[in-house]
Structure 1
Amino acid sequence: MHARLSTETLPDLPPSVVRPSYDRAAVKTGIVHLGIGAFHRAHQAVYTDAALGAGDTRWGILGASLRSSDTRDALSPQDGLYTVSVRDGAGERVQVVGSVGKVLVAPEDPEALLQALVRPETHIVSLTVTEKGYCHDPASGELDESHPDVRHDLAHPDKPRSALGFIAEALNRRRLAGATPFTLLSCDNLPANGATLHRIITRFASRRDVDLGRFVADTVHCPSSMVDRIVPATTEADRASVAAAIGLQDSWPIVTEPFSQWVVEDDFGAGRPAWDEAGATFVRDVAPFELMKLRLLNGSHSTLAYLGYLAGHETVAEAMAAPGYTSLIRRMMDEEITTEVPPLAGFDLDGYKASLIARFQNPALRHRTWQIAMDGSQKLPQRLLGTIRGRIVRGAPFERLALGVAAWLRYVTGVDDKGAPIDVRDPLAADLKRRTAGMIEAGALVESVIGVESVFGRDLPREPIFRSTVERALSLLLAEGAAATVARLARQ
């Protein structure tokens, strides 16, 4: 049995393993991160680790889990240290990351997290809470004031449950103390995530107190950002292979790909780490990069996830190796998505699309289709439906995009192509199950599910071309299955 990764055992790492080059004891906490899951630890925490290594030790990370204690339980005995294994067909590069210090579990002690947020040294509060963590209506981008967590946090502001509740209470305490507000940095896949977060938190704060709402609206900086790295869920096989590579036990290592991109609006109210020296790109307007990534990468990823899962493919790479899938995705990018991506001067869009295909095909990443398929009701509006709206305005076809939507409709019926049950994880799972129960005909399924306004808005259900195109794709999926439908479309 290996000894456990920790500050004490760092010197025991093999020379080939990259490890923190700075004195972790000298690092101050300047960032509180809400939602400290695998993606943050593979992405923003790695950039921050590099910035700390460059000499600015003001920017250590205090992580906070808003639901589960799993990350805290894994990392606390390791002094916050963890391993990042970067893999592709050429091999593996292993790094131990030290930018994360303490990890709190919000439900266990909400006051401890609030005190961390209120500390004057906390200059940035970053978030990876997934789309559903914003307690908003994905179709409109507005606060969902009927959300149970919103209602609870407005009634009990000193004992919040949601990210919004913690942020608003901390900002109120800082306001009353005359302290500078922290910058809010969303790193989630939301359109205009900074502006969306600013709108939502301003509305939430205004519901609490008019003066607090005005304070948030006028003083809180919310830069937008675009994040990009594929991070599969860690498996027991990953833990075993990492232990062999580092000679120590790591309870929660991260496996990821070589590619990493971070584009950030340079709008920080109280300073920031030198993430640009670590590879991040700071720009005035993130929107073109954001739309490019949401529509090309995320839209393709979701389409692959549903079509792949239905056909029995456990991972994205397996789906891409099956007949027709690579051709379908590349043609969807070229013929249906590219026209809906804003031009970026000097950016090699064809090269980017080719890199996406290669990343999806990476055999070293076992990115499960089921993992990507989660929370589809929150993801579809920005990943597929916005692109479809653009195609409708142009009067242009969107057969492959519609197939992605139809695959989601087929997926949420809860049964795959072989008749096996699907564990549908979605905030609207109960409503979707009710809407699809006993339905086996495409027209009825489309009619029932596109009435979910928080997903499809009010406009798409009224578009005959949207209904008919999705219904046609769903009819094929129901009659022939995902594998045969993908092969058919790939030949057209």
Structure 2
Amino acid sequence: MKLNIDTLNNNKDFFKKANIKIPKYNIEKIIENTNKNPTWIHFGAGNIFRGFIAAASDRLLNDNIIDTGIIAVDTHAAGRDDDYDMINKVYKPFDNLTLLASIKSNGDIDKKVIGSIAKIIHADFINNYEALKKIFISSSLQVVSFTITEKGYSIKDLNGNYNNIVKEDINNEPKKAKNIMSIAAAMLLERYKNGAFPIAMLSIDNCSNNGDKLKSSIVEIAKEWVKKGFSDDGFIEYLEDSKKVSFPLSMIDKITPRPSEIISKKLECIGLEGMSVFKIGNNNMAAFVNAEAAEYLVIEDLFPNGRPYFEKAGIYIADRTTVENSEKMKVTTCLNPLHTALAIFGCLLNYNFIYEEMRNHTLKKLVEIIGYDEGMKVAVNPKILNPKDFIKEVIEERLVNPYIPDSPKRIATDTSQKIPIRYGETLKSYAKNGLDTSSLIGIPLTIAAWIRYLMGIDDNGNPMEISPDPMLEELQKHIKNIKFKEPKNLGNNLKPILSNKTIFAVDLYDEKINLGSKIENYFSEMISKENAVKECLEKYIK
């Protein structure tokens, strides 16, 4: 059986026997409604979107709470060899349907077809400017959401200069924009010129103050265009009026790893065709999404043109402070710091999966120390979620789930962008509250291990591939002269890294933090010989 609309309509018995839930609504009618009156468009057509955001819309459609679907925007850079591969390989062959496999900790798999993606468009202004414009100038449009990863909001390099694509964008007319932030700004300019209808620009990415980052980038680009005469000051007033254009904060949490070959084979065994895993660039993709069952999304209630009844899809709607506290609880204490620690040590110690690491007593103890001991002392309680219950579920149910094949290598991507929030904010809270940082072990060990990881040598002394990171080249400049098995020749190589507030949110040598030397010592031990990372862990984590 192929996964497409025709099969859904004419072979319902197959899906019932295979225990696969299918949409209760008429997909063709939803597509028609969406084309007439679009309400929701989403930038970033990857797995977290398909497995969580589109699934939330699917729930609302099944319950007759909404009657329009989501329009997805593929944000792969136009001009690359694989720029349309997401559309041509993941969406079109399956009529924009997704098979969501939600995997419980006991191994049970809930299988569901998601039919809420009414259309997909590439964020390529050369071919699709008018199509995107038509959607954005619709008065019915309520929500523009994003899952483009944290680096998607960055428009400048480390020196504060516009990156090359943005530099080109701000010097050209908006219709020629290529960067995602520029594209979003250009579409808002069209909305402004064609009625100035209200809209919510909703970042659902896993980063701190995501809505503020989205707003900052869009407004900055817009101001450059106003300077060059591509628009008037009224456009900036429109963007900065929250009753017209809002940028709600959100906190999202759902582990959505790369598609698993195991799940692929299970789906094909029950008779579904085309469920194989394939590559798009460096990413594994498939017609299905495998994800953990646990999921959390908290959104600030700031929607000037109305919104879907998100609460009916299990989404928390709250005030700004509650969203900030929920995000801070997760990102600085209850999940993300633990994930990053496992990612770094997992790569160094050659683990393939996170759940395998959790079977190692020392690594499990490490994340317990970072979470329960070091982070919980300054954890924020958002009230709608209980930090102790949350972290208990993470450690005892989620990270140990052998059916979620998440890899250290995937999580180690862009670590330099994550560390200031995942560890720096905790260290800032220690300093602010006058807490003694000398008792910290797990956090400084992890920071030392990260720098050790940047050497590209695993604990056995073999070359190791490093996950992509926008600061990798800059960071490796400082450690290129450090030699493996020469721990006494560090010189001042680590100081530019450990004192960098951009990376850690604090100067680790600051007297209120006072961890710089401690981290240097841990690092020295970790490069002293083969298997030194393992020995160092076992020496300090007991």
TM bracket, shorter-chain basis: over 0.9
How far apart are the structure 2 equivalents of 1:478 and 1:136?
36
Residue 152 of structure 1, CA deviation: 2.1
User: Match for 2:57 among 9, 31, 48?
Assistant: 48
SS in 2 for 1:199: helix
Equivalenced residues, count: 486
What's the TM-score once normalised by structure 1's chain length? 0.92
CA distance in 2, matches of 1:292, 1:6: 41
- State how far apart, in whole Å, the 2-side matches of 1:149 and 1:361 are: 41
- Name the residue aligned to 1:148: 164
Segment of structure 1 superposing worse, 207-216 or 370-379: 207-216
**1:78 matches 2:81:** no
1:17 aligns with 2:59: no
Alignment of 1:378-389 (within 5 A): 378-389=417-428
Q: Secondary structure at the match of 1:256?
A: strand
Return the offset for 1:483: 2.6
Change (3 A) 1:147 1:45: same
Residue 477 of structure 2 corresponds to residue 434 of structure 1: yes
Residues 131-184 of structure 1: per-residue CA shift (max 9 Å, x gap):
100015799xxx955222321221232122222111111111111112314210
For structure 1, list consecutive stretches of 5 or more residues without a partner in the other structure: none
Which of 225, 228, 232 is the matching residue for 2:253? 228
192, 195, 212: which one aligns with 2:212: 195
Structure 2 partner of 1:247: 272
Question: Distance in 1 between the 2:356 and 2:394 partners?
Answer: 15
| CA offset digits 1:13-62 (Å, max 9, x no partner) | 42110111111122213211111111111111111110111214444111
Q: 1:190 to 1:304 in 2, by over 3 A?
A: same
Corresponding residue to 1:395 among 435, 448, 453: 435
Conservation of the 8 A alpha-carbon contact between 2:21 and 2:111: yes
Q: Secondary structure at the match of 2:294?
A: coil
Letter matched to residue 523 of structure 2? L
1:428-472 Cα shifts (integer Å, max 9, x gaps): 222223332231345644224336553245744655713123223
Instruction: Say if 1:353 and 1:453 are closer, same or farther in 2 by CA, change over 3 A.
Output: closer
Counterpart residue number, 1:422: 465
Which residue matches 2:408? Answer: 369
Secondary structure of the 1:63 match is strand
For residues 60-79 of structure 1, what are the alpha-carbon distances to aligned partners after superposition, in whole Å with 9 as ceiling and x for unaligned? 11111211433212111211
Distance 1:59 1:431 in 2: 46
Aligned 8 A contact 1:81 1:98 in 2: yes
Q: 1:211 — aligned with what?
A: 234
Asked whether the equivalents of residues 35 and 64 of structure 1 are also in contact (C-alpha less than 8 Å), the reply is yes
In the alignment, is residue 161 of structure 1 matched against residue 178 of structure 2? yes
For 1:333, the equivalent position in structure 2 comes to: 371
**Bigger shift: 256-265 or 341-350?**
341-350
Alpha-carbon distance change, 18 to 445 in structure 1, aligned in 2, over 3 angstroms: farther
1:417, distance to aligned residue in structure 2 (A)? 1.5
Shift of 1:322: 1.6
SS of 1:93's equivalent in the other structure is: strand
Query: In structure 2, what is the Cα distance between the partners aligned to 1:94 and 1:433?
Result: 44
Task: Pick the aligned partner of 2:538 from 472, 475, 487.
Answer: 487
CA distance in 2, matches of 1:343, 1:375: 27
For residues 199-348 of structure 1, the aligned pairs below 5 Å read 199-209=216-226, 210-218=233-241, 219-245=244-270, 247-250=272-275, 251-285=286-320, 286-295=323-332, 296-345=334-383, 347-348=385-386
Q: Which amino acid aligns with 1:118?
A: I
Query: 1 CA distance for matches of 2:59 and 2:452?
Result: 44
Report if the CA contact (8 A) 2:298-2:318 is conserved: yes
Residues 443 and 69 (structure 1), Cα distance of their counterparts in 2 relative to 1, 3 Å cut? farther
Which residue of structure 2 aligns with residue 135 of structure 1? 154
Mapped to 1, the partners of 2:445 and 2:167 lie a distance apart of 37
Cα distance in structure 1, aligned partners of 2:415 and 2:221: 25
Give 1:236 shift: 3.6
Q: Is the 8 A contact 1:135 1:144 kept in 2?
A: no
Q: Give 1 or 2 for the bigger CA radius of gyration.
A: 2
Structure 1 residue 114, shift from structure 2 partner: 4.1
Q: In the alignment, is the contact (CA less than 8 A) between 1:14 and 1:247 conserved in 2?
A: no
Q: 113, 123, 127: which one pairs with 1:109?
A: 127
CA distance in 2, matches of 1:70, 1:301: 30
SS of the residue aligned with 2:527? helix
Q: Which moved more, 1:350-359 or 1:245-254?
A: 245-254
Structure 2 unaligned blocks of 5 or more: 77-82, 227-232, 276-285
Q: Residue 62 of structure 2 aligns to which amino acid in structure 1?
A: G
Does 235-244 or 300-309 show the bigger shift? 235-244
Shift of 1:123: 1.9
Contact 2:479–2:494 (CA under 8 A) maintained in structure 1: no
SS in 2 for 1:89: coil
**What is the TM-score normalised by the length of structure 2?**
0.84
CA contact (8 A) 2:274 2:287 kept: no
